[in-house]
A and B are shown apart, each in its own frame.
Chain A
Amino acid sequence: DSGVTQTPKHLITATGQRVTLRCSPRSGDLSVYWYQQSLDQGLQFLIQYYNGEERAKGNILERFSAQQFPDLHSELNLSSLELGDSALYFCASSVEGGRGWADTQYFGPGTRLTVL
């Protein structure tokens, strides 16, 4: 158990819909990262938040957005869903998450999103 929790575990929805994935980082971790894992693209970094502020952006689509709240939990919002958005979405957290810090990122168990 990494200490990172993600809800829900599974999500099934239809094309065009909007969903919200939730992540609670390990106690004391200030950084949260979101990754997408699909058969086509493998594991891709989407976005990072540090202490409530966006710090880095990866291959995140404009239809996707995220935020980190004062209690440090994070939500990933996916809208106008397409079949190709079906994937496993991981959240990870680390203590610091800054340049030069070889932080260990601790991964949650993931949310499996299926778009029908």
Chain B
Amino acid sequence: AQSVTQLGSHVSVSEGALVLLRCNYSSSVPPYLFWYVQYPNQGLQLLLKYTSAATLVKGINGFEAEFKKSETSFHLTKPSAHMSDAAEYFCAVSTTGGGADGLTFGKGTHLIIQP
């Protein structure tokens, strides 16, 4: 069975600073990995996904994530935080691509942007 650990339920950064949200996964087979963002009172929106092609994945809104097999990590970064980035971020893993078993989500990290 797969699992996801997101370190830090809350992360606070200043506007313009680097954003780093941590995600470690556990999977017995090569995983597919996803980052989703949830704004207040809304559904989840896909930021980016890793599907075993390039290890550095670029997503929407300036976010990117790097798959590191040796560290079983898929951390999300953004060079310069913007106030509009304040939201809940979820890392998710699947062993079948997201289909045929659903997604396994981490607990989420609430990103706070300080002005």
Contact = CB atoms under 8 A, between A and B. Distances in A.
Given A42-B108, A43-B90, A98 B46 contact: no
A37 to B, nearest CB: 9
Nearest to A33: B102
Interface in B19-78: 32, 36, 41-46, 49, 51
Q: Please report whether the interface of chain B is mostly helix, strand, loop or mixed according to DSSP.
A: loop
Nearest to A95: B99
A45 B96 contact: no
B70 to A, nearest CB: 22
Q: Give the size range of B's interface with the partner.
A: 20 to 34
Contact of A56 (B32, B49, B100): B100
Contacts of B103: 33, 35, 45, 105
Q: Give the size range of A's interface with the partner.
A: 20 to 34
Interface of B: 32, 36, 41-46, 49, 51, 90, 96-108
Interface of A: 2, 4, 31, 33, 35, 42-48, 50, 55-56, 58, 90, 92, 94, 96-110
Q: Which of A33, A94, A103, A110 has the most chain B CB atoms inside 10 A of its CB? A: A103
B39 to A, nearest CB: 11
Contact of B98 (A46, A47, A101): A101
Q: Which of A44, A98, A102 has the most chain B CB atoms inside 10 A of its CB? A: A102
Given A42-B105, A42-B107, A104-B49, A97 B98 contact: yes
